[in-house]
Amino acid sequence: MRRSAIALASVALFVSALGLPARAAPGSLDTFFSGDGRQTAFPNGATGYAVAIDKQGRIVVAGYTLTAKTDFALARFLPNGNPDPDFGGGDGRVTTNLGGTDYAFDVAMQSDGKIVVAGERDKASGSQFAVVRYGIHGVVDKTFSKDGMSFVGFGKKYQGANAVVIGAAGNILLGGFTSNGTLSRWAMARFTPGGALDTTFGNDGKVSIDTSPTDEQIEDLTLVQNGKIVAAGYEEASLTPRFSIARFQSGGKLDKAFGHDGVNTVDLTNGGDIGYGLTKQSDGKLILVGYADNGGRGDWGIVRFGPKGLLDKSFGNKGKVITHVSDAYEYAYGVAVQTNGKIVVVGRAVRTSAAFGVFRYTVKGKLDGTFGHGGKVFTDFFADADTARGIALQDNGKIVVAGDAAKGATSRMAVARYLKS
């Protein structure tokens, strides 16, 4: 053994004797977060769909309750993973009844710390876009639309919002769908900071378009240069869904300079493909992740587009990546890009049971072998069915992932934090 190796071994033994932790590998659970890197909320039943981090490093997870009454549900955690006693009723949790069966699917933070949550309110007469704004302590903010809530329909019976983003001027943009019960269309609505529909956007604050003859839906949104809007999700071709992405001018008109007359549709497999999570890179490229039906099983699908909406053929196989884990149905739901350009994708991945899947890819679309095991991390909470849906990166690069974790017949809102390096 070389002298340097002997010295290193001695140091390792000394560190071990002191009980000091060895340097954790990228993708390891962050044990400074709740002791083991994992935390849950709503033990009587809830699911998490999205996560955001405020300027104090507090983590907000949004979803809905899974009890006799389905309401908007929020949980906030301190940077150390403990429930935040200054949020809600002292237990870090908030539920909000919007007057129907209520589903929250996305969350965004305003610059002043207020929390905006989007989803849908379902009643016997139909469903509507729903948006609620909360103050920093989790109380519904009644300076927003007089009672803290706004609802929007598009002249059809059914509509729902899956995504929310906040513009530079503080306006609030929602994206989702509108449907007559047979066919659905892409739909967006924009609100002023006070909660009124923004009449400078589309037709009195609303935009809906057909991107296919049958069904389509916006699943995620992002804002790009000059306030332009990129929406993504799926549209159907011959009744089979395909990844779809479109760009709109800041006023809501389709931007014909993007993709093919404003829209680009991508076929990943011979089966149905649905895009769920969208993000932008610092160079303007766009990444859409989701589900790819590959020969009767569900694989993770990832597509990267150039800033103008065309496939980036330097990524994966001519712009596309498909990751197979098992023969079960699996989904990629969320995506974020680290400062080094590496791409973290989260979703449902199955080993013996469904787990949080957290996979990292290089800038070229290959699994990053320095992360987890061969680029993949699987996290179980109660050795039952778990699904990751939302991802956010802290300022220090740590990876925060939210979703739900089942314990027996009850799913709880769940969050985990991972080390970047």
Cα-to-chain-centroid distance, residue 163: 9
Helices then strands (H, E): number in the chain? 1, 28
CATH topology of domain 27-418: Neuraminidase (2.120.10)
Residue 363 burial (10 A CB sphere; 0-12, 13-18, 19+): middle
Tell me the pLDDT of the chain (421 aa) as tens digits.
343 443 434 434 333 333 334 467 899 999 999 999 999 999 999 999 999 999 999 999 999 999 999 999 999 999 999 999 999 989 999 999 999 999 999 999 999 999 999 999 999 999 999 999 999 999 999 999 999 999 999 999 999 999 999 999 999 999 999 999 989 999 999 999 999 999 999 999 999 998 888 899 999 999 999 999 999 999 998 889 999 999 999 999 999 999 999 999 999 998 899 999 999 999 999 999 999 998 778 899 999 999 999 999 999 999 999 999 888 889 999 999 999 999 999 999 998 889 999 999 999 999 999 999 999 999 999 999 999 999 999 999 999 999 999 999 999 999 999 999 7
Any idea where the domains of the chain sit in the sequence?
Answer: 27-418
Those residues whose C-beta lies under 8 Å from the C-beta of residue 362, and which sit 6 or more positions away, are 342, 343, 368
Residues in contact with 84: Cβ distance below 8 Å, sequence separation at least 6, in sequence order: 58, 76, 77, 78, 92
User: Strand, coil or helix: what is 393?
Assistant: strand
Asked whether the beta carbons of 193 and 217 are under 8 A apart, the reply is no
